[in-house]
Structure 1
């Protein structure tokens, strides 16, 4: 009886040790991946052989200094050309403007072609216009040229529970609109002026970059999204296809050799561009017998970025529920 008890204790100790070393092994592999990625992103490409740089624009676009610096490194690298792989609903107007400006500076040094893999809506279409040529899949989503400002209003809910929020401010439009009271006509007008000013900039950018007639510009910038096929007819994209189509254009129009390798450049920051890493972590946990924990970690990491607050004016495709 005592022997059986000792064996049970020994097996439990062995199991705990095995669990410890499994977790330690996973963490070591993840750390190694991170170090290798940083080394590649940091200076490896700048000193490497000629290649075609692939830059992924995915998820919600916000101000991102790391991405701007990465694009500057691409400009200094031995990359012969750049492919933007885009799949994004847009983001903030300022973040999209920052990305567009960085891409135009890059395009002064390297040929840049955008490939709309799934979606280039609103702010992501601003990014696409930073390229010299836009390729889209036939059924990709393109467009949503416009700006939106959204804010919650809890005044009716507060009224139902007998709560009022008082404020003392220097002028009527300070901190307006206020989520605790119905917006005044003046507040609505002030926000509308911001929206229309940014929309005029966005619309002007489409007119300048895509060379549209007034009638076609009005149709292309009314806020709708289009399939890649429809966008081609509106001149919002130049060609239907995929990355192979982009490589063919680079070879034909810019003399970029077709045999060059394509290398993906990534930022060291956390975002949708690093979704591959969360997936890799999940796979590693799965391989050592901790699949459930791996899925929890991956879902948490992916959700954290998507739940990030987007403040201010948005150039974002955001269809209403049920539409």
Structure 2
């Protein structure tokens, strides 16, 4: 066999091997993209294909709401005929409560919504509740705590005692004030109070508008106190006492939602901690098979990350 023939055979073998590797690379790329897609959006939207009543659970601390807002959009586009928002939360960040309120008002424009305060619906969690069309709470539930708070420790006396001085060069006296390591000036306290009062006024306006209060009625419920479900009903903070069955009855009688529909839980899209690695692997595979432009798109795709705790909180805890 001549040298030229040997080279031709070797080239054909190499070309076949290269074709196999390209096919495998494409398969790995497709698998990585599928994993990344489901890690980003979750699978709830694929699980609920028949008419039903959707149940969303809002429990624990109210923080970043990226996942819940995506969930609301998925439910809005689903065959769900009504939505129950199961709330058991002391509240959390004011911005998180605002995001929930806006998201639930948007969802309520497409599906009838009802909140069920199972144990605790305070502050930012109550802000979420008033974003629905109707509020139900158990008699012994705790409701309200309408207000805004900023807390910070001041250890300046302790530092004086142990002989530590914290120095700073500021662009202006109110920059990074209060800092917790020096006494809070009257000017800094007044500036912070103006921020709290502005947000508190906005919160009260939401409650006044959604619960149809006059000024006297609003003043009676917005001093930061919590109320039992019975007290909340008397004060018109909620619409009914009851539980999930009460909410279903309201959906049936007021919104013509079939009472015998199944109630299905919708889970928030989960963001796997390995998603950045899947994204990086998908980008590398795209580059390897000559699809550099696709690799650039994958690398540029945003990742869902939990938001940081903001300075203003609407939360209740004894």
TM exceeding 0.5: yes
| Post-superposition CA distance 1:36-93 (Å, at most 9, x none) | 9x86424322xx1000000001001112211101110000000000000000000111
User: 1:217 is matched with which residue?
Assistant: 218
Alignment partners' CA distance in 2, 1:318 and 1:261:
35
Q: State the match for 2:252 in structure 1.
A: 251
CA distance in 2, matches of 1:63, 1:71: 14
Q: Give the corresponding residue for 2:15.
A: none
Preserved CA contact (<8 Å) 1:52 1:82: yes
Query: 1:93-242 alignment to 2 at 5 Å?
Result: 93-242=94-243
**Whole-angstrom distance in 2 between the partners of 1:102 and 1:49:** 23
Please give the residue correspondences for 1:10-89 in structure 2 after superposition, counting only pairs within 5 Å. 40-45=43-48, 48-89=49-90
Structure 1 CA distance, aligned partners of 2:174 and 2:46? 49
Which stretches of structure 1, 4 residues or more, deviate above 6 A after TM superposition? Answer: none
SS of the residue aligned with 1:245? Answer: helix
Return 5+ residue gaps in structure 2 as ranges: 1-37, 272-305
Give the count of matched residue pairs: 246
Determine the C-alpha separation between the residues in 1 that align with 2:43 and 2:54.
13
Residue aligning to 1:310: 309
Matched residues in 1 for 2:69 and 2:42: separation? 18
Asked whether the 8 Å contact 1:117–1:137 carries over to 2, the reply is yes
SS in 2 for 1:84: strand
Give the direction of change, closer, same or farther, for the CA distance of 1:196–1:168 in structure 2 (3 Å limit).
same
Residue 109 of structure 1 aligns to a residue in which SS?
coil
Contact 2:70 2:269 in 1 (8 A): no
- 1:235-265 Cα deviation digits (max 9, x unpaired): 0000000000000000101111111000111
How far, CA to CA, are the matches of 1:163 and 1:39 in structure 2? 51
TM-score of the pair, normalised by structure 2 = 0.75
Q: Secondary structure at the match of 1:207?
A: helix
Contact 2:123–2:316 (Cα < 8 Å) also in 1: yes
Tell me which of the two structures has the higher relative contact order, counting C-alpha pairs closer than 8 angstroms and 6 or more residues apart. Answer: 2
Give distance in 1, aligned partners of 2:133 and 2:100: 15
Q: Cα RMSD between the aligned structures?
A: 1.8
8 Å CA contact 2:112–2:251 kept in 1: the answer is yes
1:202 is paired with a residue whose SS is helix
Contact 1:63 1:96 in 2 (8 A): no
Q: Which runs of 5+ in 1 are unaligned?
A: 1-34, 271-304
